[in-house]
Every structure is written in C-alpha cells, then in structure tokens.
Amino acid sequence: MRTKRLVDTSLSLATVGVLSLAIGGLLSLWQLGNLTILYIPGVLWLAAKRGRLSALVASVAAFLVYDWFFIEPYHTFEVGQPQEWISLGVLLMVGLFTGEAYALLRRQSEELAEHDRHRQLLAESDRVKSSLLAAVSHDLRTPLAAIKASASSLLQPQTQFDDDARHEFLSAINTEADRLDRLVRNLLDMSRIESGALEPRLEWHNLSEIAADVIDRLQPVSDGHDLQLVADDHEFLAEVDYVQMSQVLTNLVDNAIRHGAPGAAVRVIVNENRVTVENQGSHLPADELDRIFDRFYRGGGKASGTGLGLAIAKGVVEAHGGRIWAENTSAGVAFQVQLPNRRTEALPA
C-alpha cells in the first residue's frame, strides 16, 4: 500500500515535470494561457491509470509549478495578474473533479466485476447441485427399486414362493441396502471434500489388510468378476485413515468391475505404500486418463455410477498427501495410488 502511494506520487510529479518542461519549451511559440491546457490530459491520464490520489497530487503540483515558473512575478507564489487566478483555479478544479469521477467509475466497474464473479460462482454451484441431484436420484432409485420389488413380492398374500425364491428376494434386499449405504457414504465424503472438511485421521495400517477387507465385502456383489488380492504377507505400515482409504479402494474396485470385460478378474496389488487396482477390458483414450477424476465425469458412454467415486478417491488420496493416476496396461486399465513414504520407527520389543 505504501509502495503504491510512493509510485503514484513519483509518477504524478514526473508527469507534471515533463509537461512543465514542454510548456517552457513552447512558451516562445505560443501564448501562455493556451499552454495551461497541456496539463489537463496529464491529469486525466493519471486519474484513469493510477486513481484519485495521483490526479490530486498532479493538479496541486501543476498548480504550484505553473505559479512558480510561468506567472509573474516569477519564482514566487504571488500572482500579479488577476486573470491568471482563473487559469490556476480551472487547473486545480479539473484535477480534483476528474480524479473523483474516475475513482467513482473504477469502483463501480470493480463492483460490477465482483458481482459477475459471484454470479458465476453461484451458477457453478447450482450446476454442480443439479448434476449431483440427477446422478444421485438415478443411483438411489436403482437399489431402492430392487428393494421395493423384492419386499413387495414377499408381501403378496396370494403368492407362495419356495425357499430358494424367498432367499433370493431377501438377499437382494440385503445387498441393495449395502449398495445404498456405500452411495450415502460417497455423498457424505463428496460434500466433505467440497467444503474442505475432509481430514484424514491418520493411523498406522497395513494397506493389504484394508484391501482384503474391501475385496471380501465386494466379492459377493462383483457380478461374476473374480477379485484377487496380490500382496506380500509381510507387515508394512502406512499412515492412513482406515475408513477413508477403504472407501478409496471400494470405489476403485467398483469402478474396475463396472468397466471390466464380463467375468474377467480384477486385481488389487499392494506393494508397501502403493496400491494398484487393475482390470481387463478396453483401454481409456489418452484424453480421458485425467478427466475421469473430474466430478460427474462418466467415461465411455456406459452410464452407470454417479461419476463421484473416482473424484472422491482423488480427493481422499490427495488429503493424505498421496497421488492417484490411471494408466493403460496391456490388458486393461490400472489405477495407481501412491501414498507418501513415512516409515514406522523400529519397535522396542
């Protein structure tokens, strides 16, 4: 702030100096009264470029310099001829008024720009909300429809189902309820990531334990894909939030299942603080490798999933200080999660 004032003042004085030299030079050619006018574009320029203070400083300086050098008696601030007061007065007034006017204009245009930014933000958040709503209502309805259909079938008074059919209806209700639970968790996580409130509670965990837990929970709903864990059975501890990291792996495995070739295996490979989730199936176009992590981005036209899972995975991994990326492999697509390398201390046994 102080530097800006210093720059404004120096620039104003320099402008007035240059203009005064010009006026001095032209004095032999033209009448003094006409030359006063030359200060005005200078003041206007300063008002527009540097604001009110510059214009004010410049007009006062021009007033003083003009009086000192160009008005008789020279080298005093006295004014011999009364009509010279008019030139001086006009000079000062132009400086003050234009300065104010420009400053006002600038403030208004800044306010307008601010208003515009705000409106854009609101529009963006509106857009996010309606896409979220659309995605969510679609995804909530699918398991809800399955639950409703199964439960109402079982409730039909006149229909008798055999044990197998009853069991099938009941397990549908059970697994679809789990799906709803996962979806709600994703929504909560998304809103925490959006509001910056996602704080991992870091503890030391073996990533292969988290991966095994996720695989065991998803295997029954894997649509015939074999979920495999590839991990050394040695104890390597990474500093992670167990619940959040299991949500990341759940989303990655779920994604690998949905986009994998029917019946092909999905492998989760844990190597110390690196986890790879890879499937077999079609490749991702190069331009999608990054974009799939955007909110609501649903690749490849297959409109399943909310388009939130990978965005959440990215948000969580980054909140852990790690990196996540996708790459094409010879057989399909691999998602890599690399967590920061913080080793545990050796333990005193």
For position 37 contacting other proteins by CB under 8 A, the verdict is no
For position 302 contacting other proteins by CB under 8 A, the verdict is no
Contact 131, 296 (CB under 8 A): yes
* Least distance CB 209 / other proteins (angstroms): 6
Residue 309, C-beta contacts closer than 8 angstroms, at least 6 positions apart: 186, 251, 252, 254, 255
Write the DSSP symbol of residue 347: P
* Least distance CB 177 / other proteins (angstroms): 7
Cα gap 286→13, rounded to integer Å: 58
Q: What are the structure tokens assigned to 334, written together?
A: 């691999």
Contact 29, 62 (CB under 8 A): no
Contact 70, 32 (CB under 8 A): yes
Residue 329 one-letter amino acid: T
CA angle 167, 246, 200 (to 5 degrees): 140
Nearest to 100 by CA among 61, 68, 56, 67: 56
Nearer to other proteins, 221 or 229 (CB): 229
* Least distance CB 212 / other proteins (angstroms): 4
Nearer to other proteins, 82 or 348 (CB): 348
* Least distance CB 109 / other proteins (angstroms): 47
* Least distance CB 285 / other proteins (angstroms): 34
Chain CA centroid to CA 45, Å:
38
Residue 246, C-beta contacts closer than 8 angstroms, at least 6 positions apart: 210, 213, 214
For position 173 contacting other proteins by CB under 8 A, the verdict is no
Q: Of 17, 204, 220, 291, which lies in the binding site for other proteins, with binding defined by CB under 8 A?
A: 204
Please report, as residue ranges, which positions from 239 to 298 form the binding site for other proteins (by CB under 8 A): 241-243, 246, 270
* Least distance CB 203 / other proteins (angstroms): 6
Nearer to other proteins, 208 or 276 (CB): 208
Q: What are the structure tokens assigned to 85, written together?
A: 């007061």
Nearest to 97 by CA among 44, 50, 20: 44
Cα gap 15→62, rounded to integer Å: 9
Contact 333, 289 (CB under 8 A): no
Q: Of 185, 258, 283, 323, which lies in the binding site for other proteins, with binding defined by CB under 8 A?
A: 185
For position 347 contacting other proteins by CB under 8 A, the verdict is yes
For position 154 contacting other proteins by CB under 8 A, the verdict is no
Q: Of 212, 269, 319, 331, which lies in the binding site for other proteins, with binding defined by CB under 8 A?
A: 212
Q: Of 177, 191, 290, 340, which lies in the binding site for other proteins, with binding defined by CB under 8 A?
A: 177
Chain CA centroid to CA 183, Å:
23
For position 53 contacting other proteins by CB under 8 A, the verdict is no
For position 203 contacting other proteins by CB under 8 A, the verdict is yes
Q: Of 206, 250, 251, 276, which lies in the binding site for other proteins, with binding defined by CB under 8 A?
A: 206
For position 155 contacting other proteins by CB under 8 A, the verdict is no
- For tokens 């852990």, the residue is 320
Residue 236 one-letter amino acid: F
Q: Of 208, 251, 255, 336, which lies in the binding site for other proteins, with binding defined by CB under 8 A?
A: 208
Q: What are the structure tokens assigned to 304, written together?
A: 């399943």
For position 344 contacting other proteins by CB under 8 A, the verdict is yes
Binding site for other proteins (CB under 8 A): 174, 177, 181, 185, 188, 201, 203-206, 208-209, 211-212, 216, 229, 231, 233-235, 237, 241-243, 246, 270, 344-345, 347-349
